């Protein structure tokens, strides 16, 4: 930039701004880690997003800066994204019948009617 | 901040090259969106949906990063400790927002390095407002209050969109924006209700920023071929005009109540239509700035390149055997 010294900004006017192109190389920003945050002791860690980092320790530092600037947090996990193994989203139909499995639910088991019928029957005798 | 309201479209010739999609998949995709379901990274999606989202999220990310530059250089000159602390927190948030958005765009298959290269080469755009200088502290105040407010209108709309990772990022961003807006309003009111010199300095800054603010949401998009399709896919959630109108509805009164006004005698709400009228904000200038000819385009990119070059040795020093790029999960 030829007129760099004309910047209104004193801090920028002092920089030696680069001339020409800048190119970022592939992989320069590393891989990603998934971040899990625990809001309170006793609660589950929950997925909150991801960070780019060169290793797990730096990932934790970036995770704290990125996801724990505000609000409650007592602990964080980071996991390499490639280490997470998940069902394909397209397979979500395998869960669709789950809500129909009433035999697994407490609400399915109702015997009050039967008890009442029994008691009425017994009284008659 | 800074959901750069307006996303410059590709040149119209390229736009017409529609990709033929499987009609059955397309119908299923549309039905899912109509049911209010979110689309996730590994779901099937039309090529145009992917492309538009990448462009939109990427440009939004660039806007966050570049937008932090005019404010960031005022940290050392902020008037007083309280304002300085607020500005540091805000600028860090903006960089964080950039990160969240880059991550969301990466889930669609464009690596971060490529996005940064497209920014540095000028291929990829960012919100036009950041190509204007922050001449005084009052300019920072106007950015913090009114540009953030405009961005929130845009981001709140987009957070109801159809792409899961973008919505999740925006929800988080909007929560933090609430603080940005409040601290901006606080600083704005202090100057407006301060000494006559402070009041005058603020009015001068509002005069400088009026046009960029009207430009922020982009020109009327009623004639855009793509808008309708993108709205059906919940990529674009509201028209430029509607968002601008909503912004004026909410913020003109807040500016006027402290004795400041926008420098436009035609800025009036039509009581019949409920729409705001304003003078022609010089859309030629708008397109010139997009092309790279604004007052600060070159400086912004040069500073961004400087950061890239000066930070490289740190990234290299940190490099480990498992530093290959990966696509974030969600």
Phi, psi of A46 (to 5 degrees): -125, 145
The pLDDT of residue A15 is 84
Helix H or strand E segment including B314:
helix B297-318
pLDDT class of A2 with cuts at 50, 70, 90 = very low
The pLDDT of residue B220 is 87
pLDDT class of B3 with cuts at 50, 70, 90 = low
pLDDT class of A1 with cuts at 50, 70, 90 = very low
The pLDDT of residue B49 is 95
Spatial contact of B158 and B104, defined as CB atoms under 8 Å apart: no
Q: Running DSSP on this structure, what letter comes out for residue A99?
A: G
Rounded-to-integer distance, Cα B176 and Cα B60, Å: 16
Using CB atoms, pick whichever of B73, B96, B299 lies closest to residue A66. B96
pLDDT class of B215 with cuts at 50, 70, 90 = very high
| Model confidence at B322: pLDDT above 80 | no
Q: Which residues does chain B have within 8 Å of residue A56's beta carbon, measured at their own beta carbons?
A: none
Question: Residue B15 corresponds to which tokens in the numbers above?
Answer: 């736009």
Q: In terms of CATH, what superfamily is A27-124? A: Phenylacetic acid degradation B (3.10.20.520)
Region A52-76: what's the mean pLDDT? 96
Region B41-49: what's the mean pLDDT? 94
Rounded-to-integer distance, Cα B286 and Cα B203, Å: 22
Rounded-to-integer distance, Cα B106 and Cα A115, Å: 61
Using CB atoms, pick whichever of B172, B306, B324 lies closest to residue A17. B306
| Model confidence at A4: pLDDT above 90 | no
| Model confidence at B5: pLDDT above 60 | no
Region A70-91: what's the mean pLDDT? 94
Spatial contact of B247 and B217, defined as CB atoms under 8 Å apart: yes
Higher pLDDT, B319 or B195: B195
| Model confidence at B1: pLDDT above 90 | no
Nearest to B137 by CA among B175, B188, B182: B188
User: B128-139 b/e with 16+ CB inside 10 Å = b?
Assistant: bbbbbbbebbbb
The verdict on a CB contact (< 8 Å) between B113 and A28 is: yes
Using CB atoms, pick whichever of B40, B76, B309 lies closest to residue A89. B40
Return the domain boundaries, chain B.
31-318
Question: Residue B31 corresponds to which tokens in the numbers above?
Answer: 């039905």
The verdict on a CB contact (< 8 Å) between B112 and A29 is: yes
The verdict on a CB contact (< 8 Å) between B320 and A81 is: no
| Model confidence at B174: pLDDT above 90 | yes
Which class is domain B31-318?
mainly alpha
- Is A93 in CB contact (< 8 Å) with chain B? no
- Shortest Cα distance, chain A CAs vs residue B265, angstroms: 30
Q: What is the mean pLDDT of chain A?
A: 90
Rounded-to-integer distance, Cα B304 and Cα B88, Å: 18
Return the domain boundaries, chain A.
27-124
The pLDDT of residue B320 is 78
| Model confidence at B4: pLDDT above 70 | no
B86: three-class secondary structure by DSSP: helix
Rounded-to-integer distance, Cα B101 and Cα B91, Å: 15
- Is B73 in CB contact (< 8 Å) with chain A? yes
| Model confidence at B10: pLDDT above 70 | no
Rounded-to-integer distance, Cα B97 and Cα A55, Å: 22
pLDDT digits (tens, 9 = 90+) for B239-282: 999 999 999 999 999 999 999 999 999 999 999 999 999 999 99
ipTM above 0.95, yes or no: no
The verdict on a CB contact (< 8 Å) between A54 and B318 is: yes
The verdict on a CB contact (< 8 Å) between B121 and A49 is: no
Who contacts B195 (Cβ-Cβ below 8 Å, separation ≥6)?
A: none
The verdict on a CB contact (< 8 Å) between B319 and A30 is: yes
Rounded-to-integer distance, Cα B119 and Cα B297, Å: 11
Q: Running DSSP on this structure, what letter comes out for residue A83?
A: G
pLDDT digits (tens, 9 = 90+) for B94-114: 999 999 999 999 999 999 999
Rounded-to-integer distance, Cα B318 and Cα B279, Å: 53
Query: How many C-beta atoms surround the C-beta of residue B99 within 10 A?
Result: 22
pLDDT digits (tens, 9 = 90+) for A99-120: 899 999 999 999 999 999 999 9
User: A31-55 b/e with 16+ CB inside 10 Å = b?
Assistant: bbbbbbbbbeeeeeeeebbbbbbbb
Rounded-to-integer distance, Cα B230 and Cα B220, Å: 15
Using CB atoms, pick whichever of B99, B106, B328 lies closest to residue A66. B99
The verdict on a CB contact (< 8 Å) between A30 and B325 is: yes
Who contacts B118 (Cβ-Cβ below 8 Å, separation ≥6)?
A: B58, B124
Rounded-to-integer distance, Cα B292 and Cα B131, Å: 9
């Amino acid at each position: 930039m030829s007129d760099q010294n004309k910047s209104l900004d004193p801090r920028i006017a002092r920089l030696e701004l680069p001339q020409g192109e800048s190119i970022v190389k592939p992989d320069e920003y590393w891989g990603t880690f998934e971040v899990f945050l625990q809001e309170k002791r006793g609660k589950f860690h929950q997925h909150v997003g991801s960070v780019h980092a060169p290793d797990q320790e730096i990932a934790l530092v970036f995770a704290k800066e990125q996801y724990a600037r505000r609000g409650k947090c007592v602990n964080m996990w980071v996991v390499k994204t490639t280490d997470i193994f998940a069902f394909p989203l397209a397979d979500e139909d395998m869960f669709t019948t789950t809500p129909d499995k009433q035999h697994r639910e407490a609400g399915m088991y109702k015997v009050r009617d039967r008890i009442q019928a029994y008691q009425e029957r017994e009284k008659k005798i | 901040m800074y959901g750069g309201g307006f996303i410059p479209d590709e040149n119209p010739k390229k736009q017409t090259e529609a990709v033929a999609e499987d009609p059955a998949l397309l119908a299923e995709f549309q039905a899912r969106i109509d049911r209010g379901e979110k689309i996730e990274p590994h779901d099937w999606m039309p090529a145009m949906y992917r492309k538009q989202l990448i462009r939109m999220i990427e440009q939004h990310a660039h806007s966050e990063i570049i937008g932090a530059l005019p404010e960031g250089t005022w940290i050392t000159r902020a008037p007083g400790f309280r304002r300085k602390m607020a500005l540091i927190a805000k600028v860090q948030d903006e960089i964080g927002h950039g990160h969240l958005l880059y991550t969301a765009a990466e889930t669609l298959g464009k690596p971060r390095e490529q996005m940064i290269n497209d920014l540095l080469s000028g291929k990829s755009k960012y919100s036009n407002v950041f190509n204007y200088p922050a001449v005084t502290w009052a300019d920072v105040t106007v950015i913090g209050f009114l540009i953030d407010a405009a961005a929130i209108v845009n981001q709140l709309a987009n957070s109801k969109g159809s792409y899961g990772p973008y919505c999740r990022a925006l929800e988080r961003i909007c929560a933090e924006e609430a603080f940005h807006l409040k601290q901006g309003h606080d600083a704005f009111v202090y100057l407006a209700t301060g000494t006559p010199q402070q009041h005058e300095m603020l009015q001068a800054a509002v005069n400088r920023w009026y046009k960029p603010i009207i430009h922020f949401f982009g020109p009327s998009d009623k004639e855009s071929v793509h808008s309708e399709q993108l709205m059906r896919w919940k990529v674009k959630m509201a028209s430029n005009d509607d968002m601008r109108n909503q912004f004026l509805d909410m913020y003109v009164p807040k500016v006027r109540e402290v004795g400041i006004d926008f420098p436009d005698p035609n800025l009036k709400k039509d009581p019949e239509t409920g729409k705001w009228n304003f003078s022609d904000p010089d859309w030629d200038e708008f397109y010139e700035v997009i092309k790279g000819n604004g007052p600060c385009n070159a400086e912004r990119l040069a500073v961004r390149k400087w950061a890239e070059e000066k930070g490289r040795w740190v990234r290299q020093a940190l490099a480990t055997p498992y530093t290959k790029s990966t696509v974030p999960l969600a």
